[in-house]
A and B are shown apart, each in its own frame.
Chain A
């Protein structure tokens, strides 16, 4: 047992060192200090002194610095590269490798010598290990190549009904249990919400509760499925991490709206975001090129909890949006308040590292004006705002995500569905962003699909990253 701990810690040092050799740390990123092992995606039973009898449990990871492995452990061992630069392996593989030491095949392997002079606990001794480094078995010892190959298939098929099936197949029953738990909660939410809608006939007096439950039930069901598939496919190999944020970020680009009812729109998009402490201010505009259509939005977002640099955050956001459809003789004004939470799924399972889920729930109030009939602001109407998003971090500062947005007051409107579903759903979309080169310039794009299709591409500029990214939509 103690030997396993030694091996694990030493390999963590090795992996971190390799990762740093390949991927320099981001500039001026604030150190991230987890509050507990759980914050690192580890259960209480999975800290550095965890017995290794159950190799399927998520394990603690290597450090981001090739320094003594003292808590906190950085959660991002970007990659494991062997001395010859062969393809990297993930930390789980490395752990399993450590547990394979002493196996008969070890004697046939080439050897590398690892030495650690600094270990977390004084009781640890200096250890020299002989590691087979070219014939690394990428699989955990109890997870056969067959199971690993089957995991994505199981996740795609069985996982649709039994969430976490892929993680079970991939020898991570703890993550599987968590996904099952999330699925059960989601289905419970869905049935409670759907049942409540039917029982009350979608009463105006109870609609926020039951509609919210139904939306997040559907979102949770989808997210548990996607997370299982993602974890089974990547097995934790994605080294992507939440990006740091910057004091100032600017965006300028183009937006195209294909709307067969209100006409196609080509617009310039401008946006500025700035952070003051834990407060973010946002201003953006879409201005039609050649038409009479302008959308202006102001927002303020307050970080309340979580360490956004690790992908977990909870924010309160409020905003005011004015939209003028001059060619269609109306204007609208929306005031809204949202609660937004994001969870790095590494917290649920090691294999899901580099992916996240985000939920948003809020209320809005919208008024309209029709200048051609000379009536002031009228037709006040509330908005139920709900977003469920699943995404993947890419590299040090990028991410892509897919989402469902329940609102129908934006360019994309709501999905074109027939029958009983007509008019009841918002839009879906894909969004992505990333920085390149020196990290100052980047690109952000989106594709939203509802009653209209919107496409946007923006050039991003940011000041030097100096605080965690807020995890906002691109």
Chain B
């Protein structure tokens, strides 16, 4: 008994320093659903998967390419949302039809089977050629006007998807997250995001709605790390088990690293940044050693371009949240022109207002 108390005390003591531990652990459970007659699991947890009614499953994609393991004794209907417009679905390598209801939403019937591999991907997902993506973060309480941004993005047909460092809503409630999803219907391309500090009060709701807090994927020869720093830190287990192996595996690829809270705020006096400068410096050192090509933050509601450890770095928090005044920068998003195997240099700011 005494030993148990000691262990419990030690665990509670440690938890004081790991406030994000609970929602980090949830990433091991995301992306899967099971019903009376089926099991469906995204192999890397890159989706929110939920059975909405018997035999019907809703999938919200958190990456451009999704792979599922499916086993079922009867057919199910999958409603794919937040997917690339031209994505194709294959079953053990054989194409099966997708019924698109909008650019980013399609449904498919999956017949019964055991250990079936489903793959949803764009036809050019592995073609190493230049493409463009947008970066948008920190909408928060400006959700009533975010449609302006989506409409402007929709006018650029070269954008393949939008990536975000989070703070999509103000408090992370289910109602707000649902509202943001409904606003995304105006966007003809998918929107992939990690979590911001404004979503942390409701981590379960985020999981149910958008899927994982941290996501790692590759698209057309460019690798992405969307890493949860919503508590102004990166959980050490998240780093050791997921981030560092991903960095090590993609040293030679063009690699984009996104996280919500800046490692260092260019305005050190403000220091809207990681809660430990020593931890931030250790991460910068590791990103530099892994030859990451670009680092993107949100959290600060303005635009900055600088470098950390010699790595090009940008802050973009132009989604409409309370703006940093006196700098002439208002709502905006970034457009990245990416070429596999090359450094990231072509980043432009697109003003909305």
Q: Mark B283-311, 1 if CB is under 8 A from A, else 0.
A: 01110110000000001111000011110
Q: For the complex, is B324 an interface residue (Cβ under 8 Å from A)?
A: yes
Q: For the complex, is B53 an interface residue (Cβ under 8 Å from A)?
A: no
Chain B binding surface SS class: loop
Query: Could you say which of A84-92, A177-185, A364-372 contacts chain B?
Result: A364-372
**Distance of A206 Cα from B325 Cα, bound (Å):** 9
CB-defined contacts of A452 to chain B, threshold 8 Å: 17, 276
Q: For the complex, is B271 an interface residue (Cβ under 8 Å from A)?
A: yes
| Known A-B contacts A198-B322, A200-B326, A373-B288; A422 and B200 likewise in contact (beta carbons under 8 Å) | yes
Pair B200/A379 contact, Cβ less than 8 Å? no
CB closest residue in chain B, given A373: B288
| Known A-B contacts A418-B197, A418-B200, A420-B198; A207 and B269 likewise in contact (beta carbons under 8 Å) | yes
Pair A373/B324 contact, Cβ less than 8 Å? no
Query: Could you say which of B35-43, B115-123, B225-233 contacts chain A?
Result: B225-233
Q: Mark A165-202, 1 if CB is under 8 A from B, else 0.
A: 00000000000000000000000000000000011111
Q: For the complex, is A261 an interface residue (Cβ under 8 Å from B)?
A: yes
CB-defined contacts of B288 to chain A, threshold 8 Å: 370, 372-373, 375
Pair B325/A373 contact, Cβ less than 8 Å? no
**Distance of A417 Cα from B325 Cα, bound (Å):** 26
Which of B17, B200, B289 is A451 in contact with, Cβ under 8 Å?
Answer: B17
Q: Which of B163-206 contact A (CB under 8 A)?
A: 197-198, 200-201
Query: Could you say which of A298-306, A328-336, A437-445 contacts chain B?
Result: A328-336
Q: For the complex, is B282 an interface residue (Cβ under 8 Å from A)?
A: yes
Which of B18, B281, B300, B310 is A330 in contact with, Cβ under 8 Å?
Answer: B281
Pair B269/A383 contact, Cβ less than 8 Å? yes
Pair B272/A258 contact, Cβ less than 8 Å? no
Pair A370/B285 contact, Cβ less than 8 Å? yes
Q: For the complex, is A424 an interface residue (Cβ under 8 Å from B)?
A: yes
Pair B268/A201 contact, Cβ less than 8 Å? no
Query: Could you say which of A61-69, A133-141, A408-416 contacts chain B?
Result: A408-416
Which of B201, B284, B301, B322 is A379 in contact with, Cβ under 8 Å?
Answer: B284
**Distance of A201 Cα from B277 Cα, bound (Å):** 23
- Distance from A227 Cβ to chain B, minimum over Cβ atoms (Å): 28
Q: Mark B11-38, 1 if CB is under 8 A from A, else 0.
A: 0001011111000000000000000000
**Distance of A274 Cα from B324 Cα, bound (Å):** 46
| Known A-B contacts A207-B269, A366-B277, A416-B17; A329 and B282 likewise in contact (beta carbons under 8 Å) | yes
CB-defined contacts of B324 to chain A, threshold 8 Å: 200-204
Q: For the complex, is A381 an interface residue (Cβ under 8 Å from B)?
A: yes
- Distance from A278 Cβ to chain B, minimum over Cβ atoms (Å): 30
Pair A381/B301 contact, Cβ less than 8 Å? no
**Distance of A450 Cα from B101 Cα, bound (Å):** 50
**Distance of A371 Cα from B325 Cα, bound (Å):** 37
- Distance from B257 Cβ to chain A, minimum over Cβ atoms (Å): 15
Pair A325/B282 contact, Cβ less than 8 Å? yes
**Distance of A260 Cα from B138 Cα, bound (Å):** 29
**Distance of A417 Cα from B271 Cα, bound (Å):** 15
Q: Mark A399-432, 1 if CB is under 8 A from B, else 0.
A: 0000000001101011111111011110000000
Pair B326/A206 contact, Cβ less than 8 Å? yes
Pair B310/A260 contact, Cβ less than 8 Å? no
CB closest residue in chain B, given A198: B322
CB-defined contacts of B323 to chain A, threshold 8 Å: 201
Pair A332/B285 contact, Cβ less than 8 Å? no
Pair A382/B326 contact, Cβ less than 8 Å? no
Q: Which of B291-349 contact A (CB under 8 A)?
A: 299-302, 307-310, 322-327
Q: For the complex, is A150 an interface residue (Cβ under 8 Å from B)?
A: no
CB-defined contacts of B261 to chain A, threshold 8 Å: 422-423
CB-defined contacts of A320 to chain B, threshold 8 Å: none
| Known A-B contacts A200-B325, A202-B272, A379-B284; A453 and B232 likewise in contact (beta carbons under 8 Å) | no
CB closest residue in chain A, given B270: A207
CB-defined contacts of A379 to chain B, threshold 8 Å: 264, 281, 284, 307-309
Q: For the complex, is A205 an interface residue (Cβ under 8 Å from B)?
A: yes
CB-defined contacts of B285 to chain A, threshold 8 Å: 328-330, 370, 372-373
CB-defined contacts of A384 to chain B, threshold 8 Å: 268-271
**Distance of A332 Cα from B309 Cα, bound (Å):** 12
| Known A-B contacts A201-B322, A211-B270, A260-B236; A414 and B275 likewise in contact (beta carbons under 8 Å) | yes
- Distance from A321 Cβ to chain B, minimum over Cβ atoms (Å): 12
Q: Mark A337-370, 1 if CB is under 8 A from B, else 0.
A: 0000000000000000000000000010010101
CB closest residue in chain B, given A425: B275
**Distance of A201 Cα from B20 Cα, bound (Å):** 26
**Distance of A144 Cα from B230 Cα, bound (Å):** 54
CB closest residue in chain B, given A204: B267
Pair A325/B281 contact, Cβ less than 8 Å? yes
**Distance of A378 Cα from B299 Cα, bound (Å):** 23
Ordered by A's residue number, 8 sampled pairs between the chains whose C-beta atoms are within 8 Å are A207-B267, A211-B269, A325-B282, A370-B285, A370-B288, A408-B273, A419-B197, A420-B197
Besides A370-B310, A423-B271, 12 other CB < 8 A contacts? A207-B270, A259-B17, A325-B282, A330-B285, A363-B269, A366-B277, A379-B309, A408-B273, A414-B275, A417-B19, A419-B200, A451-B276
Q: Which 4 pairs across A and B sit closest by C-beta, in order of nearness?
A: A423-B232, A413-B276, A414-B275, A382-B268
